[in-house]
């Protein structure tokens, strides 16, 4: 901590101590120790003294021990030659300061001047506390800003107040700069103030800060269910504020000693200070979630900076587009006749690319269009479109880029008259004529992505900025960057092996209809529905820690070949409601994984052919098992463990871990042609990697036959490797 700040804060605390002592002594002389003291309509007595010391102050006399306790916390001002012992001392000075300030304000209620005067509201009663507190807890009011001092001009004060209010942030005002306070500036401009308008003028004296911090302490006692008492409770109350009350201090204008001291009090709550003057910064994290004091911030950046430093999350309630928006429109198709303009779909160059940036490199809410907008595009034409989404977040990870990028599809489809398909540089978008008539333009893609990303992923996304390119030349570089990133991502996924991680994820999304089924998702085996791979599950857990995807520590290896680990089995027992004891990640014969019923494909053994066949959900014809997909599904689903049968996602088929316990990929003897074709390149690549480049052609399909005998004859003709392998039935024991 800066020595300058420490010295100033400690000096300020001493000054306020003196004021408190004088005013208390004075009041006791006038009214006696028995004089009752209290703020109006509250059950929390003097809230700061109650929260931090567990003392219920009812009379002036009760204040004496509070004053003494606070005085005992006052550290001496650091001497010239001492350079280190600041943080603890300064924080103590801060706590003492706000206790003193509360005494000063409470005494004003007895001896005057009355804190409720003109625009000034003084203490907050319990009813308001509760109604406002609900908004703080449910997130509709993300936090409060304690504005200390005044802005250089009235117009700037109004602008700051509005910037905060637009984000539903409650504005507390107290203190003054050169005789002026922000609340007075607003009053001069005729701005309505009060709780309903989110503008709360507490008092002109810096000591009115105690109302704001008392409010915060009471909200912890009310909503955090913390009964005040000793030190531990005081600690919990401060911690509750740090974790749940997203407040920050905006220090406007010159920061004097008393303001430093008060700010030190706020830092104890985890409320950081953002200053517009050039005071020393305190950047390392510790008491606050992130930085403690950030200074020299220009007025137009103050709110943004504060939001970022405090980690405030703001909900966007309405998406700013001229067409209806909602899941109801996701299934809407836009046919050629209805289309005004299209992008991509092999008719023009297009791509979409979401990248993680540093917090400083993203201007939240910025949407930029480079190139012509829809009004310059001929009807029925195909135009180039590059969508670049820059995302920054304290908890954002590069691994989440593809997870978020894939959301572009359903986000854009939610708008009536906008349609999206594909991904990456193979995307395809359309805007309908009627949407264009209603005023929908290219920039609105940005509005949608911005609002939805912030709203749906608050846990990982703090800031979003979208750049849209309709000028093909301007987007060339970024398209190249995107392509490189796609290659890099694919390599990353390919390089992810089950051995390289120690955490898998469970998925219980389907337990509503398959109560005993749990999917185990590992890097090399995605969920059987094909919708959740390991990265998705990892992101899903980060986004919703109480959700259906929970991390599993693999634990000790029980059997490497089968893919059994102690940690995984424990989770399976628990999440399957004790109905399944062991799971093999890599075996179809011994303790195979169960299925809910959502599998993309079913793998089934063909004993005569000594291999397995795979049938996809879309295939309605007969298979060599003698059963169609629908019949097979009946015996595979429902959370039952059925050796010889497995429900899988398509991408698992070409995984190195595909039933590797029984010999893996080489066991595949039959697939419907459609499935085979759709996976052609991956199957061929996998064949090459196991040293059988023509393996693709050795897999039979329905054109070869739909009985095991026909398949066997074909295998013998082409020399299928499964014929040389040990009997698949051997594995069942």
Partner 1 sequence: MEVKETYNGTIREVTLGVGDKAVVVGGETALSFYTFEGVMPRKPVIAFDVYDEEPADWPAPVVEPYKDVLGDPVKWALKCQNEYGADMICLQLVSTNPTGTNRGAEEAAQTVKAVADAIDIPMIVYGTANVEKDTEVLAKAAEAAQGKNVLMGPIEEDNYKTIAAAALGFQQAGATHSPIDVNMAKQLNILATQLGLNADRIIIDPTTGALGYGLEYVYSVMERLRLAALTQNDSMTQMPIINTIGKEVWKAKEVKVSTEEEPAWGDAETRGIIWEAMTAIALLMAGSDILVMRHPKAVELTRDFMALMA
Q: Rounded to 10 degrees, what is the CA torsion of 439, 441, 446, 449?
A: 60
CB of 222 to partner 1, least distance (A): 6
Q: Which residue has the tokens 């109560």?
A: 515
Phi and psi, residue 4, nearest 5°? -60, -45
Q: Which is nearer to partner 1, 515 or 705 (CB)?
A: 515
Query: CB within 8 A of 52, min separation 6: which ones?
Result: 95, 99, 217, 234, 237
Q: Please identify which residue in the block is written with the tokens 């020299």.
A: 296
What tokens were used for 386?
A: 């590059």
Nearer to partner 1, 142 or 644 (CB): 142
Which CB, 237 or 273, lies closer to partner 1? 237
- CB environment 335-351: b (16+ within 10 A), e (fewer): eeebbbbbbbeeebbbb
Smallest separation (angstroms) from partner 1 to the CB of 409: 23
- For the CB of residue 528, give the shortest distance to partner 1 in the complex, in Å: 18
Kindly state the smallest distance separating residue 37's Cβ from partner 1, in Å: 25
Residue 647 and residue 595 in contact, taking contact as beta carbons nearer than 8 Å: yes
Question: Which residues of the shown chain bind partner 1 in the complex (CB under 8 A)?
Answer: 127, 130-131, 133-134, 136-140, 222-225, 244, 508, 511-512, 515, 546-548, 574, 577-578
Residue 226 vs 461, nearer CB to partner 1:
226
Closest distance of CB 546 from partner 1, Å: 4
Q: Cα separation of 215 and 136, whole Å?
A: 12
Strand 668-670 versus strand 611-616 pairing type: parallel
- Report how far residue 190's alpha carbon sits from residue 12's, in angstroms, rounded to the nearest whole number: 34
CB of 133 vs partner 1, minimal distance in Å: 5
The CB-of-318 to partner 1 minimum distance in angstroms stands at 13
At its nearest, how many Å lie between partner 1 and the CB of residue 555?
20
- CB nearer to partner 1: pick between 223 and 486: 223
Q: How far is the CB of 700 from partner 1 (least distance, A)?
A: 41
The per-residue DSSP string of 200-249 comes to EEEESSGGGHHHHHHHHHHHHHHHS-PPP-SHHHHHHHHHHHHHH-EEEE
Considering beta carbons, is residue 134 or 622 the nearer one to partner 1? 134
Q: For residues 303 and 510, which CB has a smaller minimum distance to partner 1 in the complex?
A: 510
For partner 1, give the closer residue by CB, 381 or 544.
544
Cβ-based nearer residue to partner 1, 138 or 375: 138
Kindly report the number of other CB atoms within 10 A of residue 370's CB atom: 15
E strands, 650-726, in order: 668-670
**CB-side neighbour CA atoms (13 Å) of 51:** 31
Residue of 706, 725, 656, 646 whose CA lies nearest to 685: 656
Kindly state the smallest distance separating residue 637's Cβ from partner 1, in Å. 17
Q: Rounded CA gap, 70 and 54, in Å?
A: 13
225 vs 585: CA distance, rounded Å: 45
**CA 652, CA 84: separation in Å to the nearest integer?**
58
Of 428 and 457, which has the nearer Cβ to partner 1?
457
């Amino acid at each position: 901590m800066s020595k300058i700040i420490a010295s100033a804060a400690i000096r300020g605390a001493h000054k306020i101590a003196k004021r408190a002592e004088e005013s208390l002594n004075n009041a006791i002389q006038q009214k006696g120790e028995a004089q009752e003291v209290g703020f109006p309509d509250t059950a929390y007595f003097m809230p700061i003294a109650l929260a931090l010391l567990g003392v219920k102050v009812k009379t002036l006399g009760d204040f004496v021990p509070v004053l003494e306790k606070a005085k005992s916390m006052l550290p001496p001002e650091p001497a010239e030659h001492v350079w280190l012992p600041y943080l603890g001392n300064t924080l103590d000075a801060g706590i003492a300061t706000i206790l003193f300030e509360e005494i000063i304000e409470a005494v004003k209620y007895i001896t005057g001047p009355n804190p409720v005067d003109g625009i000034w509201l003084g203490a907050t009663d319990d009813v308001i506390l509760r109604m406002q507190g609900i908004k703080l807890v449910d997130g509709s009011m993300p936090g409060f800003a304690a504005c200390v001092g005044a802005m250089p001009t009235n117009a700037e004060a109004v602008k700051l107040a509005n910037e905060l209010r637009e984000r539903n942030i409650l504005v507390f005002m107290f203190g003054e700069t050169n005789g002026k306070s922000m609340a007075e500036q607003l009053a001069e401009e005729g701005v309505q103030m009060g709780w309903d308008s989110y503008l709360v003028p507490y008092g002109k004296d810096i000591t009115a800060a105690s109302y704001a911090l008392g409010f915060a302490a009471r909200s912890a006692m009310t909503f955090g269910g913390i009964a005040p008492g000793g030190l531990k409770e005081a600690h919990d109350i401060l911690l509750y504020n740090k974790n749940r009350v997203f407040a920050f201090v905006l220090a406007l204008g010159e920061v004097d000693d008393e303001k430093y001291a008060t700010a030190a009090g706020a830092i104890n709550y985890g409320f950081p200070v953002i200053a517009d003057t050039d005071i020393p910064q305190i950047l390392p994290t510790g008491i606050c979630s992130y930085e403690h004091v950030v200074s020299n911030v220009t007025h137009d950046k103050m709110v943004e900076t504060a939001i970022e430093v405090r980690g405030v999350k703001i909900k966007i309630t309405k998406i700013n587009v001229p067409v209806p928006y909602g899941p109801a429109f996701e299934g809407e198709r836009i046919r050629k006749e209805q289309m005004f303009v299209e992008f991509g779909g092999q008719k023009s160059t297009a791509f979409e690319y979401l990248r993680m940036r540093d917090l400083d490199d993203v201007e939240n809410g910025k949407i930029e269009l480079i190139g012509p907008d829809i009004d310059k595009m001929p009807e029925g034409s195909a135009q180039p479109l590059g969508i670049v989404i820059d995302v920054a977040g304290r908890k954002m990870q590069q691994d989440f880029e593809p997870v978020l990028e894939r959301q572009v599809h359903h986000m854009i489809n939610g708008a009536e008259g906008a349609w999206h398909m594909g991904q990456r540089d193979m995307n395809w978008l359309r805007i309908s004529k009627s949407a264009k008539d209603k005023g929908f333009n290219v920039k609105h893609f940005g509005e949608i992505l911005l609002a939805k990303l912030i709203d749906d992923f608050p846990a990982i996304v703090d800031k979003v900025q979208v750049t849209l390119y309709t000028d093909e030349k301007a987007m060339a570089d970024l398209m190249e960057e995107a392509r490189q990133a796609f290659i890099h991502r694919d390599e990353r996924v390919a390089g992810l092996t089950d051995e390289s991680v120690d955490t898998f994820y469970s998925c219980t999304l389907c337990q509503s209809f398959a109560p005993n089924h749990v999917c185990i998702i590992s890097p090399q085996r995605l969920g059987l529905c094909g919708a959740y791979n390991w990265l998705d599950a990892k992101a899903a857990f980060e986004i919703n820690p109480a959700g259906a995807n929970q991390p599993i520590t693999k634990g000790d290896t029980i059997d490497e070949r089968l893919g059994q680990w102690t940690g995984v089995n424990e989770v399976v027992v628990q999440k399957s409601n004790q109905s399944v004891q062991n799971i093999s990640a890599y075996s179809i014969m011994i303790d195979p994984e169960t299925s809910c019923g959502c599998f993309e494909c079913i793998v089934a053994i063909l004993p005569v052919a000594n291999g397995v066949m795979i049938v996809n959900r879309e295939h309605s014809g007969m298979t060599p098992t003698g059963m169609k997909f629908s019949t097979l599904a009946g015996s595979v689903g429902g959370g039952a463990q059925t050796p010889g049968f497995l429900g899988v996602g398509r991408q698992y088929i070409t995984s190195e871990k595909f039933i590797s316990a029984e010999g893996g990929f080489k066991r595949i003897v039959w697939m419907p042609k459609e499935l085979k074709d759709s996976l052609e390149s991956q199957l061929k690549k996998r064949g090459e990697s196991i040293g059988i480049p023509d393996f693709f052609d050795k897999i039979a399909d329905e054109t070869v036959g739909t009985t095991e005998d026909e398949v066997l004859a074909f295998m013998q003709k082409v020399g299928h490797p499964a014929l040389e392998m040990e009997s698949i039935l051997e594995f069942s024991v």
